[in-house]
Structure 1
Amino acid sequence: MLEPTFARTRLGSGPGLLLAHGAGSSLANTYGPVLEALAARHTVVGIDYPGSGDTPRSTTALSVDDLADQLIAAADAEGLDRFAVSGFSLGGPVAIRAAARHPERVSALVLTAAFGHRDNRLALASSVWSKIAASGDRELLAEFLLLMALGTQALESMPSEQLQQILGFTAATAADGSSEQTDLVGQVDVRDDLAGLKVPTLVISTTDDRLTSPALHRHLAETIPGAHLADIATGHLPMLERTEEWLQLITDFLGKHHA
Structure 2
Amino acid sequence: MQFKLKPIYAALMLLATNPAFAEQAEVLVLPRVDVIGTQKQLLKTPSSATIIEQEELESSHVLTVNEALRKAPGVVVRDEEGLGIRPNISVRGLNPTRSTKVLLLEDGIPLSFAPYGDNASYYFPSIDRFSSIEVLKGAEQIKYGPQTAGGLINFITPNAPEKFGGHMSVTAGNRDYLNTKINVGGKGVLFDYTHKEGDGARDNTHSNIEDLNVKMTKSLGEDHAITVRANWFSEDSQVSYTGLTQK
Tell me if TM exceeds 0.5.
Answer: no
TM-score range, shorter chain: under 0.3
Q: Which of structures 1 and 2 has the larger relative contact order (alpha carbons within 8 angstroms, sep 6+)?
A: 1
Structure that is richer in helix per residue:
1
Larger radius of gyration: 2
Q: Calculate the TM-score normalised by the size of structure 2.
A: 0.23
